[in-house]
Amino acid sequence: MKNSQTITLAYTGASGMPYGIRLLEMLLAEGNSVYLLYSKVAQIVAQQEMKLIMPSRAQEAEVFFNNYFGLAQGQLRVFGREEWFAPVASGSNPADSMVICPCTMGTLAAIAAGLNQKLIERAADVMLKENRKLILVPREMPFSIIHLENMLKLARSGAVILPANPGFYHHPETIQDMVDFVVARILDQLGVTHTLTPRWGESQLS
């Protein structure tokens, strides 16, 4: 597996913020550079699910997350929702991969329709047109026919649809174990080294 990638990570307003925060932690811990984007509703969800108050201003958010994870300045960059001069807005400077975790059905639909009203949507559109990996992590149930058709359209366009569905064959004992299962699958798709969960066949299942 490879390390030291530049990865765009976006949070939208679906439930599942613990997945997104844990993913950010692991990407940074493995030495990757991260471009972070998040919606206004994602801020509300983070506060409701994790009591985490994420600043609205990009510069303040960078300081917040640098302190939160104990980072040196420069490894993490945060961009505003309409910061159109951000690297992620152009195919001339795309990240290696992009993950939207959690991903709302509204965001998924906008990407499927080619809408670029917000930076998150534009960044995802760039990944598709440049044939870079785009991973969408929806957290919704049940899926409507519209949701499924949008996912199928995106999968046919090259996106990876990775629902936040934790497994149980590794005998999770805590909520964190279940979060780590999903994050591990995302990291596998990105080619990022991790030891979050045992791999099938590497340890005896009882």
The pLDDT of residue 91 is 96
Binding-site members are 13-15, 39, 104-107, 139, 169, 185
Nearest to 116 by CA among 127, 105, 106, 124: 124
Q: Binding site for FMN, residues?
A: 13-15, 39, 104-107, 139
Residue 34 lies in a domain: yes
Per the structure, the count of domains in the chain is: 1
Residue 137 lies in a domain: yes
Question: Is residue 43 in a domain?
Answer: yes
Burial of residue 194 (CB within 10 Å: 0-12, 13-18, 19+) is: middle
What backbone phi and psi angles, to 5 degrees, belong to 178? Answer: -70, -40
CA atoms lying within 13 Å on the CB side of residue 188: 13
Per run of 10 residues, the mean pLDDT along the chain (length 206 residues) is: 83 98 97 97 98 96 95 91 96 96 98 96 98 97 97 98 94 96 97 91 60
Distance between CA atoms of residues 73 and 70, nearest Å = 9
Find the CATH number of the domain harbouring 42: 3.40.50.1950
Residue 3, pLDDT score? 58
| 58 domain-assigned | yes
**CA pair distance 182, 196, nearest whole angstrom:** 10
In a domain, 198, yes or no: no
Binding residues for dimethylallyl phosphate: 169, 185
Structural domain including 22 reads 6-190
Find the length of the chain: 206
Give dist(CA 139, CA 184) in Å, integer.
Answer: 16
Neighbours of 43 (CB within 10 A): 19
Task: Answer whether residue 148 is part of any domain.
Answer: yes
Q: Does any domain span residue 204?
A: no
